[in-house]
Structure 1
Amino acid sequence: MVKPDRCKCMGACPQQDFNQTDTLKTLKVDHRPPLVLNIALALQHVMVHASLCALVVGALVPQAGKEKTAASVFFYSGVSTLLQTCFGSRLPLIQAPSLDFLVPALVLLGARAGNHAACRGQCDQSEQFEVPAHQLRELQGMAVVVGLVQLSVGLCGVGGAVLTRCGPLVLTPVCCILGFSIYREAALLCSDHWGFALLTVVLLVCLSQHLRCWALSAHLKLPLYPVVSMLSVLLSVLLVWVVCAALQHCGHITPHSVSELLFKDDLNTTQFHDWTAANSTNLLSAVSTATWLSLPLPGLGLPLLSGDSIAAGIAAGLSSCISSQAVYVLTARLLNAPTPPAQACNRGVSVEGLGSVLSGLMGVPVGLCSSVPNACMTSLSQCGSRATVQLSAVMLLVLGLFPQLTHVLTSVPLAIHGAVLSVTYTVAAATGITYLQYTDVDSGRNIFNTGFTVFMSLVLPRWFRMQTGFIYTGVGSLDIFLQSCLMLPVFLVSLLAFLLDHTVSGTLSEKGLERDQSTRKIQSLANKPQGNHQSLVTVYEPPQPVRKVLDWPGLRKFPFCACRSLEVEKITVTSAEMSGLLPQ
């Protein structure tokens, strides 16, 4: 193996304290950075989470109740993150709302907006005031359904079983679309002010890439860690935020809301946008006042489980399960850790289900799943420490208890949020491309399958977004379910890639697979141990008390057996859990 060239920085380079290769310098899962650096890295995770939260919450909730809802999302995201890092997959993953919930929610609200727009001028005043609360309770019911779907998929072991049958030609398009799926929303957020968005992107690229090995001077260096690179997101956001605040104070710029940007060119949500704008003073009127200390408790009653909210929740739950498991694989690859075993994936999805059910019951209008931009930031910050993510969860809990602090984060201009999402999501797309190295990239089969799945999963959601009345079965709930599934890029790409990879004929070497001579099972070349410096036990094994609970006789049977880990002796002796694919 050829050793990489030494970094040509002036003086000692902090990068040399890590392993020489670029893929091995990320801090390991069980590593604990110094306290000050750990706090800064945790705050950086919170800033990225705030960008995703600003997009989802801002699109669903009018300005009147945005701070209160965002505070609740932060709080239950912190709770779910602690559960995930302690009892779930154990990967350093922040739990947050995502596009998997936003798209079905907009489909649901679009149907509701059409119904209410039809009765304008004919409904009495009492009915008009009851609609916003009814709408929000339906979103809460959708979040509960999402959690139940995630919990069912995790406990039954369906997710882990399917993931072990996904080769490189399935993971490549799924990870690519995981990154490309945000392009429209990120571009619209950046359109709030393209100058500030461009400045943020330039700073992010310079700090994270060009100044990766930068030393201040011959006598003043960063001896332990490349701090400028590790905190590139936080530094870029703070610098541009200060400039924006100064210009906004002087009256040179005017901020916009998320709904104004997202729905200004969307034909199927025009009615919904007009209706929510007209009723923004009524929606969340009971909980719209932001106070210094507020417990994130429901203020509008229990979630409402209607047929439409159940249909939208099932579609969102299925897509979020696929997205989360892709994030598990993505994070493991960025951390240079072993491929996640099926048991860890099942525990992770189950914990996400608990978080979604809890958030829906407590008044949050969206579910929770593993955050893609926070996972991708591992590549930029070079830190995959579990302790850092747990500290971020504590910060999210504090933000959730103090809505005024949440208001500070929600005041960040949308252009900055769009730039952060644009840069972080690119890591997912690029990581997906790396799986092609295990396949025959010159194969016509592989070229067609990959291109077809990626292109169609981007084109079809865009077309169905403009053709809202195309699907009409006579059953409103079924229409919402089908419309939601066909507008979710991750759901489409996973379905197309899985079907094509398992139905189009090809050799094992073409698909990036090989047959293990000892077990006679087909395994993926991407799952084979290739110099991983972290063990399965270190990364994925739950704490000893949790392992004892999972070993109870009652939990050894279906469905709880899907979340039980292998014995330590079996993990260290065999790699079947990592490499088993298409068992025969």
Structure 2
Amino acid sequence: MVKPDRPKWMAACPQHDLDEVDTLKNLKVDRRPPLMLNIALALQHVMVHASLCALVVGALVPQSEKERTTASVFFYSGVSTLFQTCFGSCLPLIQSPSLDFLVPALVLLCAQPGSHAACRGQSDQSEHFEVPVDQLRELQGMTVVAGLVQLLVGSCGVGGAMLTRCGPLVLTPVCCMLGFSIYREAALLCSDHWGFALLTVVLIVLLSQHLRCCTLPGHLKFLLYPNVSMLSVLLSVLLVWVVCAVLQHCGRITLHSVSELLFKDDLNTTSFQDRTAVNSSKLLSLDPTATWLSLPLPGLGLPLLSGDSIAAGIAAGLSSCISSQVVYVLTARLLKAPTPPAQACNRGVSVEGLSSVFAGLMGAPVGLCSSVPNACMTSVGQCGSRATVQLAAVMMLVLGLFLQFTQLITSVPLAIHGAVLSVTYTVAAATGITYLQYTDVDSGRNIFNTGFTLFMSLVLPRWFRMQSGFIHTGVRSLDIFLQSCLMLPVFLVSLLAFLLDHTVSGTLSERGLVQDQSTRKIQSLADKPQEISQNLVTVYKPPQPVGKVLDWPGLRTFPFCACRSMEVEKITLTSAEMSSLLP
């Protein structure tokens, strides 16, 4: 067979360098990178996870409790990630808080009397952002309820069953919305300093996309290209972070917290700078008075279960179940792996539910689900090793136990976090577009359904955010539930896309589906064997001890059968290598 021509950028690179590029680029789930590279890749995952924590924790927790709460979220995320990679879906996924918990939490806080300061863009007060203890306990109650919803959906098999009925025209808008849903929050973080945000974005794009190989004068060649490209996010963050620290030390810039950015327009410049001086002075420094070892124990008492927290928890649990299963599909596509089977999705959601319940009982204000930006790092960093994610989980456990390390991570400027989220979430949106190749893209039905679901899922949450008192049924808990659901873009887009795809008439080929003549089952064209490069058993099979437990006769009945391992046939691979994900 004649080998295809090498791309133009490869013409200047020696063949042994290209072999190294291919070896590093084509790391699979069961492969382990070299030790030092593995540590750097794991640290990169931790930095991306810290960006989500900075947004979610900073918007819900007072500044005085931010470091302790962030440390506890790191710890529980590390525990959940280890369980997810070993007992859950077995995909290389980091577990973290997300917008699926942030939006209902903000709706819950806004519904409480005297807590209008928690409403983003709706506050006319200039005092410090504070959340009373009872409301923090309600957030913990919301987390527990959300975890119970996740556990119920996973153990009963509802999530896996629904996913098997989602074709390309459902996955396209949902994956796209998964990427678009963060645009407002990312812009909020970037507004801390647009210059640093832009510099971070440019560096990430240059290192991950434009840098291919570089020949220095003489016979010296830049042989570290694969590592530099794979670590583009980490290197960009560290470089801009150092620049920020130098400028802040010289008194040229002033950095802010998330809660201060929420009310930046309502504050005068003098008082705002005075209030932020304390926060900016901690950049790239450790507080010598802080305790080193800090166990993530509950400090506010047991979670408070009320009608409001239950309503917000149900909305958060439903949305997080949808997001997590879409992240499973997204990760599998980036890894060139088979579509996750129903039992793997059910195990993954069940593990997330247990983790959220545990985190809520131990004092965390938000639950856990699969992290979208960390999943997108599979593409940006061209590495999907399960060992890397497990090492990142161990690092997060260490960060959660040692408060001074957490202080260092939380001192990263918000503009850098916003840039990281802006770049990583774009991969989710772009991956959703790729599913259109299996459908009839010229079909008027498909054009309308996709455009309508995406547009409405962006417009409606924005409108309901501006009209917070529009829903008034007389029952505050019901108002909170409806308001939360209508402000969650992923929940809206999945509901609209699923309904339109199954109610608007269209042929199977038009919808990107095909019927197996032997089994008469309808499956997506995206699941065809020739599209994958990894084995189904290798990716989703749990460890042998776990598999033996799941195969016990007592677990063959409802509801445990939904998470039970099934015998699967090995799929013949047509290509031993994974193609470039981001050319």
**TM-score normalised per structure 2:** 0.89
Larger displacement relative to structure 2 (170-179 or 514-523): 514-523
Shift of 1:260: 2.1
1:518 maps to a residue whose letter is S
Task: Please say if 1:557 is aligned against 2:547.
Answer: no
User: SS where residue 549 of structure 2 aligns?
Assistant: helix
Match of 1:377 in 2: 377
Match of 1:101 in 2: 101
Larger displacement relative to structure 2 (290-299 or 453-462): 290-299
Instruction: Provide the C-alpha distance between the structure 1 equivalents of 2:499 and 2:381, rounded to a whole number of angstroms.
Output: 36
User: SS where residue 523 of structure 1 aligns?
Assistant: strand
User: SS where residue 86 of structure 2 aligns?
Assistant: helix
Contact 1:26 1:335 in 2 (8 A): no
Match of 2:199 in 1: 199
Match of 2:480 in 1: 480
Contact 1:142 1:312 in 2 (8 A): yes
Percentage of pairs with the same residue: 83
Taking structure 1 as reference, are residues 485 and 218 closer, same or farther at Cα in structure 2, changes over 3 Å only?
farther
2:4 maps to a residue whose letter is K
Taking structure 1 as reference, are residues 254 and 449 closer, same or farther at Cα in structure 2, changes over 3 Å only?
same
Taking structure 1 as reference, are residues 471 and 4 closer, same or farther at Cα in structure 2, changes over 3 Å only?
farther
User: SS where residue 523 of structure 2 aligns?
Assistant: strand
Contact 1:372 1:425 in 2 (8 A): yes
1:173 maps to a residue whose letter is P
Instruction: Provide the C-alpha distance between the structure 1 equivalents of 2:458 and 2:502, rounded to a whole number of angstroms.
Output: 22
Shift of 1:12: 2.0
| Residue pairs, 1:112-511, within 5 angstroms | 112-114=112-114, 132-214=132-214, 220-221=220-221, 226-264=226-264, 290-511=290-511
Taking structure 1 as reference, are residues 4 and 45 closer, same or farther at Cα in structure 2, changes over 3 Å only?
farther
User: SS where residue 510 of structure 1 aligns?
Assistant: coil
Match of 1:534 in 2: 534
Contact 1:68 1:403 in 2 (8 A): yes
2:13 maps to a residue whose letter is G
Taking structure 1 as reference, are residues 208 and 472 closer, same or farther at Cα in structure 2, changes over 3 Å only?
same
Shift of 1:187: 0.7
Match of 1:284 in 2: none
Shift of 1:26: 3.6
Contact 2:211 2:225 in 1 (8 A): no
User: SS where residue 509 of structure 2 aligns?
Assistant: helix
1:554 maps to a residue whose letter is G
Match of 1:12 in 2: 14
Contact 1:136 1:365 in 2 (8 A): yes
Instruction: Provide the C-alpha distance between the structure 1 equivalents of 2:150 and 2:217, rounded to a whole number of angstroms.
Output: 52
Taking structure 1 as reference, are residues 531 and 214 closer, same or farther at Cα in structure 2, changes over 3 Å only?
farther
Match of 1:120 in 2: none
Match of 2:34 in 1: 34
User: SS where residue 565 of structure 1 aligns?
Assistant: coil
1:321 maps to a residue whose letter is C
- Per-residue displacement from partner, 1:52-107 (whole Å, max 9, x unpaired)? 10000000011100000000000000000000000000000000000000000000
CA-based RMSD:
2.3
Instruction: Provide the C-alpha distance between the structure 2 equivalents of 1:315 and 1:215, rounded to a whole number of angstroms.
Output: 54
Contact 2:62 2:131 in 1 (8 A): no
User: SS where residue 165 of structure 1 aligns?
Assistant: coil
Contact 1:212 1:228 in 2 (8 A): no
1:422 maps to a residue whose letter is S
User: SS where residue 457 of structure 2 aligns?
Assistant: helix
Any gaps of 5 or more consecutive residues in structure 2?
A: 118-129, 267-275, 277-288, 573-583
Contact 1:88 1:351 in 2 (8 A): yes
Instruction: Provide the C-alpha distance between the structure 2 equivalents of 1:451 and 1:360, rounded to a whole number of angstroms.
Output: 38
2:530 maps to a residue whose letter is Q
Instruction: Provide the C-alpha distance between the structure 2 equivalents of 1:357 and 1:298, rounded to a whole number of angstroms.
Output: 13
Match of 2:61 in 1: 61
Instruction: Provide the C-alpha distance between the structure 2 equivalents of 1:475 and 1:393, rounded to a whole number of angstroms.
Output: 42
Instruction: Provide the C-alpha distance between the structure 2 equivalents of 1:177 and 1:537, rounded to a whole number of angstroms.
Output: 30
2:41 maps to a residue whose letter is L
Contact 1:336 1:533 in 2 (8 A): yes
1:549 maps to a residue whose letter is V
Shift of 1:213: 3.9
Instruction: Provide the C-alpha distance between the structure 2 equivalents of 1:216 and 1:540, rounded to a whole number of angstroms.
Output: 44
Larger displacement relative to structure 2 (462-471 or 7-16): 7-16
Shift of 1:529: 1.3
Instruction: Provide the C-alpha distance between the structure 2 equivalents of 1:482 and 1:4, rounded to a whole number of angstroms.
Output: 56
Shift of 1:553: 1.6
- Per-residue displacement from partner, 1:271-317 (whole Å, max 9, x unpaired)? xxxxxx9xxxxxxxxxxx94211110001111111110000000000
Shift of 1:520: 1.2
Taking structure 1 as reference, are residues 50 and 161 closer, same or farther at Cα in structure 2, changes over 3 Å only?
same
- Per-residue displacement from partner, 1:206-228 (whole Å, max 9, x unpaired)? 00000134466775556687011
2:542 maps to a residue whose letter is P
Match of 2:4 in 1: 3
Contact 1:58 1:66 in 2 (8 A): yes
User: SS where residue 254 of structure 1 aligns?
Assistant: coil
Shift of 1:252: 0.8
Instruction: Provide the C-alpha distance between the structure 1 equivalents of 2:223 and 2:30, rounded to a whole number of angstroms.
Output: 21
Instruction: Provide the C-alpha distance between the structure 1 equivalents of 2:531 and 2:443, rounded to a whole number of angstroms.
Output: 28
1:241 maps to a residue whose letter is W
Shift of 1:6: 3.6
Contact 2:109 2:115 in 1 (8 A): no
1:148 maps to a residue whose letter is L
Instruction: Provide the C-alpha distance between the structure 2 equivalents of 1:215 and 1:566, rounded to a whole number of angstroms.
Output: 52
Contact 1:308 1:477 in 2 (8 A): yes
- Per-residue displacement from partner, 1:510-530 (whole Å, max 9, x unpaired)? 100111111111111011112
1:337 maps to a residue whose letter is A
- Per-residue displacement from partner, 1:100-134 (whole Å, max 9, x unpaired)? 000000000011144789xxxxxxxxxxxx97111
User: SS where residue 441 of structure 1 aligns?
Assistant: coil
2:182 maps to a residue whose letter is I
Instruction: Provide the C-alpha distance between the structure 2 equivalents of 1:350 and 1:161, rounded to a whole number of angstroms.
Output: 14
Any gaps of 5 or more consecutive residues in structure 1?
A: 118-129, 267-276, 278-288, 574-584
Taking structure 1 as reference, are residues 254 and 440 closer, same or farther at Cα in structure 2, changes over 3 Å only?
same
Contact 1:31 1:385 in 2 (8 A): yes
Shift of 1:19: 5.0
Instruction: Provide the C-alpha distance between the structure 1 equivalents of 2:131 and 2:66, rounded to a whole number of angstroms.
Output: 18
Aligned length: 538
1:456 maps to a residue whose letter is M
Instruction: Provide the C-alpha distance between the structure 1 equivalents of 2:400 and 2:477, rounded to a whole number of angstroms.
Output: 34
Instruction: Provide the C-alpha distance between the structure 2 equivalents of 1:385 and 1:62, rounded to a whole number of angstroms.
Output: 36
Shift of 1:567: 1.6
Larger displacement relative to structure 2 (202-211 or 11-20): 11-20
**TM-score normalised per structure 1:** 0.89
Contact 1:293 1:403 in 2 (8 A): yes
Instruction: Provide the C-alpha distance between the structure 1 equivalents of 2:31 and 2:178, rounded to a whole number of angstroms.
Output: 28
Match of 2:123 in 1: none
Taking structure 1 as reference, are residues 463 and 4 closer, same or farther at Cα in structure 2, changes over 3 Å only?
farther
